[in-house]
Chains A and B, each alone.
Chain A
Amino acid sequence: GDSVTQMEGPVTLSEEAFLTINCTYTATGYPSLFWYVQYPGEGLQLLLKATKADDKGSNKGFEATYRKETTSFHLEKGSVQVSDSAVYFCALSPVGASGSRLTFGEGTQLTVNP
């Protein structure tokens, strides 16, 4: 079945540091890929998405590129802020199937210190 693997956390960075959170997936066909972010006590917010190979999703300084050859969708940000502290989830959704269900990675806790 489908699966998503994220790099183990937690990740602690200083403000303005470079961020990479690795995400790899296993799925048949060409799934859509997503990054969601969860702030304490809240639900999930869509951060960015990509629906086909070589697509780059971007939002709020975060970027991720859909790499079919390496089945990866790594999240990057050039300069993190304290306000980026949250849990980040990589997810996939199969395309072409009846209905839609997201398969999530384990989540990566990011803490950014001033």
Chain B
Amino acid sequence: KAGVTQTPRYLIKTRGQQVTLSCSPISGHRSVSWYQQTPGQGLQFLFEYFSETQRNKGNFPGRFSGRQFSNSRSEMNVSTLELGDSALYLCASREPGQGETQYFGPGTRLLVL
């Protein structure tokens, strides 16, 4: 099976812009979660989607949003970018009922200038 894929892998934006990141889960996985990784804060949970519904949300401002499509692909959007949004954004997928293990993609590295 193909693993979790994320596009784009690298992105440079300027403050105030918005950005959309995409994640395709492992085939058959219906749950997609997003995490932000920064040197200062480490790995932090953003949100989880299952069957097109947000099930869980981390402690991030409303500028961070996401959605999931009927084919389980997910996008996350960050509006009004700030310098502090520079990070590696990781997507993970799992299939509920097959255990709690989440499988991660390679990440999208976002740099905000």
A residues lining the B interface (CB < 8 Å): 32, 34, 36, 42-46, 49, 51, 89, 91, 93, 95, 98-107
Known contacts A43-B105, A93-B100, A106-B42; is A100 also within 8 Å of B35 by CB?
no
Count of chain B residues with Cβ under 8 Å from any Cβ of A? 26
Q: Contacts A103-B45, A104-B43 given; indicate if A34 touches B90 (C-beta within 8 A).
A: no
Q: How many A-B residue pairs have CB under 8 A?
A: 64
Give Cα A109 to B90, complex, Å. 19
Nearest-neighbor residue (CB-CB) of B53 within chain A: A99
Residues on B lying within 8 angstroms of A by beta carbon are: 4, 6, 31, 33, 35, 42-43, 45, 48, 50, 55-56, 58, 90, 92, 94, 96, 99-107
Contact of B102 among A89, A102, A106, A107 (CB under 8 A): A102
Instruction: Check if B56 sits within 8 Å of A99, measured CB to CB.
Output: yes
If the complex has contacts A43-B90, A51-B99, A101-B45, are A36 and B56 also in contact, measured as CB distance less than 8 A?
Answer: no
